[in-house]
């Protein structure tokens, strides 16, 4: 067993100053406010302990991509994000030809069974060519029942989420088939109208993939998918709060409109995260990273992110003397509980008795100083 105490602990929606957490094996045994019930094994008097981050949309990091279908590279990318506090993540795949996509799904199915990732997110190939963003338009296509069945069979229950464009032919049947298989359906990379989007939500789609990015913009006569996703209380909206994909004031407006319980911060990180500027690939597409901003080579099209979840946490939690407990708790909600609930993940996303022992220790500047994943310290303060 491990008993840790800290100057502040975010326990199941409350900020306890001070607080403590006791773990046993892979689980949280108990947690509470005030002084710990015994001498702590680890004491962080000037830090805040929060639940491990849950990133429901990430493509890679540290020079490695989940699209590579290579176990060592998948593990390297996962370890990188874990060092930045992400203890639970979906491995996101991009649009590709049928056979490479199937191979990548098979590789990530094994990575899911090993616990390296929590499941697979298919971001494509059933996307709008007009809103494909960094996806290869040659391989965007309408949903095909045979292909969906083949991917579901290969994944054997490890596909957690699929992003699709609901205006495509066959999308109604696709949404129904995926929901019947227990897959979360997200609306994204779409040129759908407001009506087409609301129809998809009525069929069971429940997530908006990186809201505002790669979708028809909000217009006062043609509100499109943005308003439909924001207006439906059943929908969780992803947002990339890195200061590149969405203006910070728009991020604040989205959080104000939907509330932290409906907003999931995501990195959309590619292999370049933590690896610097240069040339990369996102599936079959060549990417150039300059000044930390990833774009499709030779174009102005943004191509995924280079930030980590701790950076997004800091972006929404506020800085220095302007930081409030409400802002901290909102950041905790959007980086852990909200994405966990959106994906239907049990036992993660909060510090609560019986939950997985996933936690992040943040210093006074909200930088990661320690990370525990499934009861094991993966990053220790001072080393």
pLDDT value for 379: 83
Contact 356, 348 (CB under 8 A): yes
Work out the pLDDT band at 277, boundaries 50, 70, 90: very high
* Angle value at C-alpha 17, between 16 and 21, nearest 5 degrees: 60
Q: Is the pLDDT of residue 382 over 70?
A: no
Q: Is the pLDDT of residue 318 over 90?
A: no
Contact 215, 243 (CB under 8 A): no
As a whole number of angstroms, the distance between CA 61 and CA 78 comes to 8
Q: Is the pLDDT of residue 357 over 80?
A: yes
Q: Among residues 55, 268, 310, 356, which one is catalytic?
A: 268
Q: Is the pLDDT of residue 319 over 80?
A: no
Task: With 0.85 as the threshold, say if the pTM is over it.
Answer: yes
Binding residues for substrate, as ranges, are: 134, 213-214, 221, 245, 302-304
pLDDT value for 151: 98
Binding residues for Zn(2+), as ranges, are: 123, 189, 210
pLDDT value for 219: 93
- In the chain, CATH 3.20.20.140 sits at 53-313
Residue 281, strand partner residues? 286
Q: Is the pLDDT of residue 55 over 50?
A: yes
- In the chain, CATH 2.30.40.10 sits at 2-51+346-380
Give the CATH H-level superfamily of domain 2-51+346-380: Urease, subunit C, domain 1 (2.30.40.10)
DSSP 345: -
From the list 134, 218, 123, the residue with the least C-alpha distance to 165 is 123
Residues of the chain with pLDDT > 90, as a percent, come to 95
> What mean pLDDT, rounded, does the chain reach?
96
Residues of the chain with pLDDT > 70, as a percent, come to 99
CA 110 to chain centre: 20
* Mean pLDDT computed over 45-64: 97
Work out the pLDDT band at 383, boundaries 50, 70, 90: very low
What digits encode the pLDDT tens for the residues 150-161?
Answer: 999 999 999 999
Architecture of domain 53-313: Alpha-Beta Barrel (3.20)
For the question of residue 356 being annotated catalytic, the response is: no
From the list 181, 136, 185, 194, the residue with the least C-alpha distance to 164 is 185
Q: List C-alpha distances in Å: 382 to 15, 196, 379.
A: 25, 52, 9
What digits encode the pLDDT tens for the residues 109-146?
Answer: 999 999 999 999 999 999 999 999 999 999 999 999 99
pLDDT value for 69: 83
């Amino acid at each position: 067993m491990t008993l840790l105490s800290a100057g502040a602990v975010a326990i199941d929606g409350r900020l306890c100053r001070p607080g403590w957490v006791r773990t046993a094996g892979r689980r949280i045994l108990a947690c509470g406010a005030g002084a710990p019930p015994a001498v702590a094994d680890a004491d962080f008097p000037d830090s805040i302990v929060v639940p491990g981050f849950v990133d429901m949309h990430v493509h890679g990091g540290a020079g490695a991509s989940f699209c590579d279908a290579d176990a060592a590279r998948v593990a390297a990318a996962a370890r990188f994000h874990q060092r930045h506090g992400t203890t639970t993540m979906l491995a996101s795949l991009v649009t590709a030809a049928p056979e490479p996509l199937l191979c990548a799904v098979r590789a990530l199915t094994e990575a899911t069974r090993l616990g390296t990732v929590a499941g697979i997110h298919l971001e494509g190939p059933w996307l709008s060519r007009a809103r494909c963003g960094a996806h290869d338009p040659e391989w965007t296509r309408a949903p095909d029942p045979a292909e969906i069945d083949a991917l579901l069979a290969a994944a054997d229950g490890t596909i957690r989420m699929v992003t699709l464009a609901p205006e495509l032919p066959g999308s109604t049947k696709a949404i129904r088939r995926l929901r019947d298989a227990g897959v979360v359906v997200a609306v994204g990379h779409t040129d759908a109208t407001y009506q087409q989007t609301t129809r998809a939500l009525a069929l069971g789609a429940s997530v908006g993939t990186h809201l505002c990015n790669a979708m028809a913009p909000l217009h006062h006569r043609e509100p499109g998918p943005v308003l439909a996703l924001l207006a439906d209380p059943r929908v969780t909206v992803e947002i990339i709060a890195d200061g590149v994909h969405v203006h910070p004031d728009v991020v604040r407006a989205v959080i104000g409109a939907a509330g932290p319980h409906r907003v999931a911060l995501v990195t959309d990180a590619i292999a370049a995260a933590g690896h610097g500027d240069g040339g990369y690939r996102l599936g079959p597409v060549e990417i150039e990273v300059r000044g930390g901003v990833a774009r499709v080579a030779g174009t102005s099209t943004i191509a995924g992110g280079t930030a980590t979840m701790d950076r997004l946490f800091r972006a929404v939690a506020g800085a220095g003397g302007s930081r409030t407990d409400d802002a901290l708790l909102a950041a905790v909600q959007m980086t852990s509980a909200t994405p966990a609930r959106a994906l239907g993940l049990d036992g993660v996303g909060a510090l609560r008795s019986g939950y997985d022992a996933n936690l992040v220790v943040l210093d006074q500047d909200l930088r990661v100083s320690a990370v525990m994943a499934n009861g094991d310290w993966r990053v220790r303060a001072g080393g």
